[in-house]
Chains A and B, each alone.
Chain A
């Protein structure tokens, strides 16, 4: 009976939502304790954070700006994760993407924006693909752990960029470790004089494309199959090894694209340490977003909002933005607990609710909601 199945599904969904809300409430509460301990009034601080994140159209735009690189990094982790790979190297891929994009922006002869900008974005993508591909090739060819290799490649990338912006690519006549500023033809246009740039929409579009690729295409099907059971995918005759290399490249390219988007949308020049750990935060974004591309959009917005709110709070109260990072970390821990520890509680609650409903509305199919392992 579809009506009953629907009711059972509604029960499941509402319990999940309830627990998510409780998790957020608990982490905000814990954050309040930390703030109080640091001598900041939590009530005032939260108000400021909210104002800074969503209080005005300017604040909202700032949130979107902050969410953009996080979303790219989250998608990068998500894509590899769904194939059973752990790409911890988004940080390095962001830097290489930014480097390649900037080089194509600065070194190519002048061109109209509709050629130059896509070309520079593509070069950023290529840079990330290259960096991810190194780890992928080592994994497929030699069986080397992609986790270790991506982490180590992060350092290579970060120091390579440091070298480039203090040496060969340093702005002529400048004293800071940064490149010359990008030509207008390679910069992402901004909206109505705010800091919000078209990179955000590119990130949303990317999330939708990644969702489509994973869930609807035959290639995504192969990737998910290998992610769930690599050996079975091999037995089915799927090209698992080739896909692992390709997935690492695509995963890297998403981070690389995010890297150049950050340069072309916000910084407008390549700088040392321009990423405050977007790549690592992307892992948290992906996990909080349930490694689902659309979930990533929501969690990136949440994290972006906390960032821009943190800046607002610091401006007014002088409390360090680190407080917000503490709240963010608590939130991740609580969410992980919610996912891995409370399964049994949720299941019991669901069964109890369904029994209740059962008595009031007649029959309901428990099978649609509960798992029957007999």
Chain B
């Protein structure tokens, strides 16, 4: 596969500018780049979702032009999207077959489909049960179904868009095992990511895009993570420096005996923690061990039965409610920014005021001040370097990292005393994640106590003053960062 001078424009914006790219057969090729660098545009052209404005794509020595994903698929190019394209109510086999002809005639041959799927999944070490409904599968398993789907359609060339973004560390290991076995059998894989560690671990060659242009392309053996990060961002990313602990700190948040039952499952068990002024308490743990339920219980958003006591700045909170917590000075960055953090069709300004619209700054006599809202939006766009065509644009038009900046701007506008930050950099590139980290550290310096929930251990280690490990709804291990041992924490996360 090769591309020559590939150009794609949206209006007068050039998303891909004369890209020349060579991808050899049987290699795992990483495409790195920040959000908005043009990775998705490039991949959408390779997989037939978009057609290039200029230049050509050469596949197996012949120039090709795909009018649709189906045409690309017929040539053997398959794509695994970041957000899976599966129908939860159908079985694995039905999902794999969907939209395909199976031999001749209009019938769906269930047994044959299941056999084929078993055979394919077996030969690549993908363990999927074709009879199961997709809704019963874990995220990692669903991703395997997506891979099987492309293989079943005869893909030789598989494009994977940020495949690890949704996976837990053990699932990532599994995925890598599968990728190696695909490679061993001569499949070519394009691996889009912005996680350098993973690229380093699995890829043979790496291509870096920056602002729509090719910034570098080299064999992985000739490069290293630090250099790639520099090329990708266009500046040096220094790891956050060690910080002196603050003395004489008051207690901001104290939780004791917090339990929560959600549809018959004990999701939190007798959990206690405390958070002091100017401290970042990192909650480490594999996704789904009660982190989400902890934050929801603290914010009064839990659908389950919650018991235990919560004190904010010494004041007991009898019945937590999002507004009461906001008024008590607690900010909250929810895990799922699309579902819980933003009203996507609204503008930046209208999203910024979502917690403060009642205050005299933004409304008087129940009437919103449009001027003040625009001013706040303008200030946030400048202050947080939010990339947007104009401040009146809907938040849905922003990239994920910029959307997260809108949320961060909103929460920090409240001048919170306590900040619950759940996965604040999930799905963000190195540069944008670094911006978020710097903001959090600045808040800490001002005396804010931050509860940082992250499934990325490195992030916890980089930011936290103390680290607590959650496992099955309990805190099983708490340690100062200075004395923390990554290996021990890894074991505790696994419940050992």
A contact residues vs B (CB 8 Å cutoff): 5, 216-219, 221-222, 224-225, 228-229, 231-238, 351, 354-355, 358, 363-374
Contact = CB atoms under 8 A, between A and B. Distances in A.
A228 B11 contact: no
A351 B40 CA distance: 20
B344 A217 contact: no
A351 B15 CA distance: 14
23 contacts: A217-B367, A218-B358, A221-B368, A224-B343, A228-B346, A229-B339, A229-B342, A232-B340, A232-B343, A234-B301, A234-B322, A235-B332, A235-B334, A238-B323, A351-B11, A363-B12, A366-B10, A366-B11, A367-B11, A367-B13, A370-B10, A372-B10, A374-B41
Contacts of A355: 11-12
Contacts of B353: 221
B307 to A, nearest CB: 21
B37 to A, nearest CB: 8
B346 A225 contact: yes
A243 B40 CA distance: 40
Contacts of A366: 10-13
A202 to B, nearest CB: 23
B154 interface: no
A219 B343 CA distance: 16
Contacts of A237: 321-326, 355
A217 B369 CA distance: 9
Contacts of A5: 390
A143 B399 CA distance: 35
A218 B11 CA distance: 36
B397 interface: yes
Interface string B347-378: 00010011101100001001110100000000
- Identify whether the interface residues of B are mostly helix, strand, loop, or mixed: mixed
A237 B299 CA distance: 9
A217 B12 contact: no
User: Closest 6 CB pairs between A and B?
Assistant: A366-B11, A367-B389, A237-B323, A237-B322, A228-B343, A370-B11
Contacts of B366: 217-219
A221 B10 contact: no
A5 B13 CA distance: 14
A355 B11 CA distance: 7
A266 B152 CA distance: 68
B288 interface: no
Given A364-B12, A370-B11, 7 more contacts: A218-B368, A228-B343, A354-B11, A355-B11, A366-B12, A369-B11, A374-B15
A216 B367 contact: yes
Nearest to A358: B12
Nearest to A357: B12
B36 interface: yes
A153 B344 CA distance: 34
A39 to B, nearest CB: 43
Contacts of B12: 354-355, 358, 363-366
